[in-house]
Amino acid sequence: MAFNMKSTSAGMLALSAMHLIPSVLAAESSFNKQSGAEVCSSDTPLSCSSSTIEPSCCFNSPGGSFLQTQFWDYDPSTGPTDSWTIHGLWPDNCDGTYEEFCDSSREYSNITAIIEESGNTELLTYMNKYWKDYSGDDESFWEHEWNKHGTCINTIEPSCYTDYKSQEEVVDYLQKTVDLFKTLDTYQALAAADITPSESATYTLDEIHSALSDIHDGFAPYVACDGDNLNEVWYFYYVRGNLITGEFDPAEKLTQSNCPETGIKYLPKSG
């Protein structure tokens, strides 16, 4: 009886070991995509919900308002003609002001190499297509975004990681920016409201706000114009918990548009 039980459990062990092999391999091949960032309890307060809570790996502060920002680069044009492109992910203080270049020891001039070393080729491919610099130097643009904004996010400091690997937080930050961008298809949201690129058509600010609030839980993002021409959008969020493992809640914009109320043009990308 005891022998049988033993052999059964040994057999089960062997079976589960066999099952384990493929999943171990799978885990290893995607190992670099798994974040070691702090996992916080789900009742962690939302960023900006209180000015008395101390900054921690589970509470973004003082930069508790996060902006996923995008460009419509029509001249010179960048990126696909039927998509906006990524500007960045910025931590703002809860009042529209912000800190910048917060940690010179974590400023990098080798973002491409950092992503390559992480093994996340999918991220790099996506960035090469959608995270474009208008003057053609994507690497410098990514460096600027990380060095200026990424270094100011307190919840992705190395001390917030288990088994921290050098520059891990840089890849996490870029991936989070891309992941948010993928949920915010500005081009499609405008097109769904018949707001499409045109040399001659004009749109009102209300029409644009309304179309974009449809993909942001009813909150209109900040939209910016160059003269009369629509060229940028900022979607505001608060975060519950850690930037990488936490939850993003769409939020009211903290900045008013500089576009005119009427007569806004949405020019086609010139190619």
Binding residues for ligand NAG, rule: CB under 6 A, are 108, 110, 113-114, 117
Please identify, using beta-carbon distances, which residue of 110 and 270 lies nearer to ligand NAG: 110
**Contact between 181 and 68 (Cβ < 8 Å):** yes
Which residues make beta-bridge pairs with 267? none
Sign of CA dihedral 145, 146, 149, 150: positive
Nearest distance from C-beta of residue 113 to ligand NAG, angstroms: 4
Please identify, using beta-carbon distances, which residue of 108 and 164 lies nearer to ligand NAG: 108
Rounded distance between C-alpha atoms, residue 194 and residue 202, angstroms: 11
Which residues make beta-bridge pairs with 250? 237
- 149 labelled catalytic: yes
Active-site residue (options: 38, 143, 145, 169): 145
Rounded distance between C-alpha atoms, residue 210 and residue 197, angstroms: 17
Structural tokens at position 11: 């057999």
Nearest distance from C-beta of residue 102 to ligand NAG, angstroms: 17
Please identify, using beta-carbon distances, which residue of 36 and 119 lies nearer to ligand NAG: 119
Nearest distance from C-beta of residue 100 to ligand NAG, angstroms: 20
Active-site residue (options: 19, 54, 99, 149): 149
For 78, residues 6+ apart whose C-beta sits below 8 A from its C-beta are 71, 85, 132, 133, 134, 269
Nearest distance from C-beta of residue 105 to ligand NAG, angstroms: 9
Structural tokens at position 6: 């033993």
Rounded distance between C-alpha atoms, residue 102 and residue 147, angstroms: 8
- 144 labelled catalytic: no
Please identify, using beta-carbon distances, which residue of 157 and 247 lies nearer to ligand NAG: 157
Please identify, using beta-carbon distances, which residue of 115 and 251 lies nearer to ligand NAG: 115
Nearest distance from C-beta of residue 104 to ligand NAG, angstroms: 11
Rounded distance between C-alpha atoms, residue 82 and residue 119, angstroms: 29
Nearest distance from C-beta of residue 118 to ligand NAG, angstroms: 8
Rounded distance between C-alpha atoms, residue 239 and residue 54, angstroms: 15
Structural tokens at position 253: 């914009």
Give the start-end residues of each E strand in the chain: 65-71, 85-92, 222-226, 229-240, 247-250
Please identify, using beta-carbon distances, which residue of 108 and 134 lies nearer to ligand NAG: 108
- 209 labelled catalytic: no
For residue 221, cis peptide bond before it (omega within 30 degrees of 0) = no
Just list the catalytic residues.
87, 145, 149
